[in-house]
């Protein structure tokens, strides 16, 4: 039987991931304090191993998410600088549709035969389209694409998706973390499609998707997209357009079970780290 | 002529020179033509193989389109100028963590294409 993961279940997964990351960070601070107060090694080999495990895994998570945050910040700046330098006049079709949607002031156009549209920027997101987009689509379809991107812009999706990826990077030892981040990205795409369909109509949005997904993608732009995810995402988006509501996503049962198993294995180390604090001067617990 | 200022930061020096020749030509060129153009007035002429390697590398990066012209290959720039190359480069290299796309790369299979076509017609 194909079981479905409802929204509350997904929210529960995020709450659990958030709690695990926060608890892990707090225990890592405690582990540093324990080593500082009690020295190396700790009273028993189990204590030493457990507290070292907590500290090492926290450092690995911090390094992974910190590296990602730094890179995303630098990347965002680099993308902005290059795009600002390469800006082109906005084609009339795009300007008219953007004016109708109220996003003309946050729109950039760059030259390019490939038809693409993206929302870029973490703190002050903007919409970027290529001149090829206006040439490839009808005015109504351009409006649908801009409505889709406006939803990303208004919800600050680049920043939200980065936050999801940062949590996933910290919790990299939990197999469900990456799945949750991918699922969050898909949910935002579906929400943007609903906004676009509400503005332009389902048929018009379907036409834009059909034309843009059928065109040969510029190899350098396509290289940034993980192979395989594009197809799954498009499948879910088409299903939503047909049904008029978001498709239910199958839970990654194996990943959830593996994550629960990992937490169960780590629990003794976490508990040991917390319990050791009573040995510290003025014991915390 | 296309703006060259930004090309140096995205392309190597010789790559930028090759692109300048192709942008000036405004049509696909074979390697021999590019070599002749590059070596005009140059003290130390560039070897044919050197230029061919550079152009093959540019084609591999998706910056040049290669098409057969008789027994040889002709190359044409895909981007209109250095700024376009720069934008495409940063989108590819940096974009994943800093943006949301309208449509990801997708191999549009016939069933999906048919479903989209039906949606277009029904609505």
- Residue A24, pLDDT score: 85
CB-CB contact of A27 with A270 (8 Å): yes
Confidence (pTM): 0.74
Mean pLDDT of chain A: 82
* Structure confidence at residue A41 as a pLDDT band (50, 70, 90): confident
Q: Judge whether B65 is closer than 8 Å to chain A, CB to CB.
A: no
- Residue A264, pLDDT score: 86
- Pick the residue with more confidence: A177 or A214? A177
Per-residue pLDDT, averaged over A146-173, amounts to 89
In three state form, how does the secondary structure of chain A look? CCCCECHHHHHHHHHHHHHHHHHHHHHHHHHHHHHHHHCCCCCCHHHHHHHHHHHHHHHHHHHHHHHHHHHHHHHHHHHHHHHHHCECCCCHHHHHHHHHHCCHHHEEEECCCCCCEEEECCCCCEEEEEHHHHHHCCHHHHHHHHHHHHHHHHCCHHHHHHHHHHHHHHCCCCHHHHHHHHHHHHHHHHHHHHHHHHHHCHHHHHHHHHHHHHCCCCHHHHCCCCCCHHHHHHHHHHHHHHHCCCCCECCCHHHHHHHHHHHHHHHHHHHHHHHHHHHCCCCCC
Distance from CA of A234 to the nearest CA of B (A): 7
d(C-alpha B85, C-alpha A111), whole Å: 9
- Residue B91, pLDDT score: 67
* pLDDT tens readout for residues B61-119: 888 999 988 888 999 988 777 777 777 766 665 555 555 667 655 556 788 888 989 99
* pLDDT tens readout for residues A69-79: 888 887 777 77
Structure ipTM over 0.90, yes or no: no
- Residue B90, pLDDT score: 64
Fold (topology level) of B7-122: Arc Repressor Mutant, subunit A (1.10.10)
CB contact under 8 A, A238 and B78: no
- Residue A202, pLDDT score: 92
Inform me whether the pLDDT recorded for A144 exceeds 90: yes
- Residue B109, pLDDT score: 79
Nearest-10 Cα torsion for A23, A24, A29, A30: 70
* pLDDT tens readout for residues A22-39: 888 888 888 888 888 877
Tell me, yes or no, whether A284 lies in a domain. no
- Residue A284, pLDDT score: 52
Residue A244's domain comprises 7-222+229-279
Distance from CA of B68 to the nearest CA of A (A): 19
Phi-psi region of A124 (alpha: psi -120 to 50; beta: other; left: phi over 0): beta
Closest residue in A to B94 (Cα) is A75
Query: Which of A1-15, A117-131, A250-264, B73-87 is modeled with the greatest confidence?
Result: A117-131
- B-chain CB neighbours of A65 within 8 Å are none
**Nearest CB neighbour to B83, from listed A85, A149, A227:** A85
- B-chain CB neighbours of A207 within 8 Å are 116, 120
Q: Judge whether B94 is closer than 8 Å to chain A, CB to CB.
A: yes
Q: What percent of chain A lies above the pLDDT cut of 70?
A: 88
Number of structural domains chain A divides into: 1
Inform me whether the pLDDT recorded for A170 exceeds 90: no
CB-CB contact of A230 with B106 (8 Å): yes
CB contact under 8 A, A83 and B98: no
**Nearest CB neighbour to B99, from listed A79, A203, A238:** A79
- Residue A239, pLDDT score: 92
Residue partners of A2: CB distance under 8 A and separation at least 6 = A250
- Residue B94, pLDDT score: 53
Per-residue pLDDT, averaged over A203-210, amounts to 92
Tell me, yes or no, whether A206 lies in a domain. yes
- Residue B7, pLDDT score: 46
CB-CB contact of A92 with A135 (8 Å): no
- Residue B98, pLDDT score: 53
Q: What percent of chain B lies above the pLDDT cut of 70?
A: 75
Tell me, yes or no, whether A110 lies in a domain. yes
Q: Judge whether B76 is closer than 8 Å to chain A, CB to CB.
A: no
d(C-alpha B52, C-alpha A74), whole Å: 34
Give the Cβ contact number of residue A50 at 10 Å.
23
The residue among A66, A86, A148 with the most chain B CBs within 10 A of its CB, best to mutate, is A86
- B-chain CB neighbours of A161 within 8 Å are 100
Per-residue pLDDT, averaged over B33-62, amounts to 91
CB-CB contact of B66 with A94 (8 Å): no
Q: Judge whether B77 is closer than 8 Å to chain A, CB to CB.
A: no
Q: Where do the domains of chain B lie?
A: 7-122
Q: What contacts 24+ positions apart, CB below 8 Å, involve A214-218?
A: A214/B108, A214/B113, A215/A114, A215/A115, A215/A136, A217/A114, A217/B105, A218/A112, A218/A114, A218/A116, A218/B62, A218/B78, A218/B88
- A-chain CB neighbours of B100 within 8 Å are 118-119, 149, 152, 157-158, 161, 185, 188-189, 192
Q: How many CB pairs under 8 A join A and B?
A: 179
- Residue B95, pLDDT score: 53
Tell me, yes or no, whether A118 lies in a domain. yes
- Residue B9, pLDDT score: 53
Comparing A54-58, A136-140, A221-225, B66-70, the range with the smallest average pLDDT is A221-225
CB contact under 8 A, B103 and A209: yes
**Nearest CB neighbour to A116, from listed B79, B98, B102:** B102
Distance from CA of B109 to the nearest CA of A (A): 9
């Amino acid at each position: 039987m194909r079981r479905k993961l409802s929204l509350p279940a997904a929210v529960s997964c995020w709450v659990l991931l958030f709690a695990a990351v926060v608890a892990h960070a707090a225990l890592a601070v405690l582990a540093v304090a324990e080593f500082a107060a009690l020295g190396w090694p700790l009273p028993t080999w189990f204590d030493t191993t457990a507290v070292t495990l907590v500290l090492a895994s926290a450092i690995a998570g911090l390094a992974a998410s910190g590296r990602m945050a730094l890179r995303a910040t630098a990347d965002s700046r680099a993308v902005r600088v290059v795009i600002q330098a390469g800006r082109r006049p906005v084609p009339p079709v795009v300007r008219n549709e953007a004016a109708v949607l109220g996003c003309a002031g946050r729109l950039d156009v760059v030259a390019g035969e490939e038809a693409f549209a993206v929302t870029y920027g973490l703190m002050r997101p903007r919409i970027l389209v290529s001149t090829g987009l206006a040439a490839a689509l009808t005015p109504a379809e351009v409006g649908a694409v801009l409505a889709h991107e406006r939803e990303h812009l208004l919800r600050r999706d680049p920043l939200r998706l980065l936050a999801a990826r940062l949590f996933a990077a910290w919790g990299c030892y939990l197999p469900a973390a990456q799945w949750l981040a991918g699922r969050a990205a898909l949910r935002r795409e579906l929400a943007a499609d609903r906004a676009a369909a509400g503005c332009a109509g389902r048929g018009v949005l379907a036409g834009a998707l059909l034309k843009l997904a059928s065109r040969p993608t510029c190899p350098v732009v396509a290289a940034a997209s993980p192979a395989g995810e594009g197809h799954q995402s498009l499948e879910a988006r088409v299903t939503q357009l047909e049904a008029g509501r978001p498709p239910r996503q199958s839970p990654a049962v194996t990943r959830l079970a593996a994550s629960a198993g990992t937490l169960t294995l780590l629990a003794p180390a976490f508990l040991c780290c917390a319990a050791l604090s009573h040995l510290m001067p003025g014991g915390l617990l | 002529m296309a703006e060259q200022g930004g090309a140096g930061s995205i392309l190597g020096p010789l790559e930028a020179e090759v692109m300048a020749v192709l942008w000036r030509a405004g049509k696909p060129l074979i390697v021999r033509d590019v070599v002749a153009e590059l070596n005009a007035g140059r003290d130390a002429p560039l070897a044919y193989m050197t230029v061919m390697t550079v152009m093959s590398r540019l084609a591999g990066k998706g910056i040049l389109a290669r098409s057969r012209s008789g027994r040889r290959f002709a190359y044409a720039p895909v981007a209109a100028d250095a700024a376009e190359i720069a934008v495409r480069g940063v989108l590819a290299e940096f974009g994943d963590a800093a943006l949301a796309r309208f449509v990801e790369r997708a191999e549009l299979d016939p069933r999906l294409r048919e479903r989209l076509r039906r949606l277009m017609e029904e609505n």
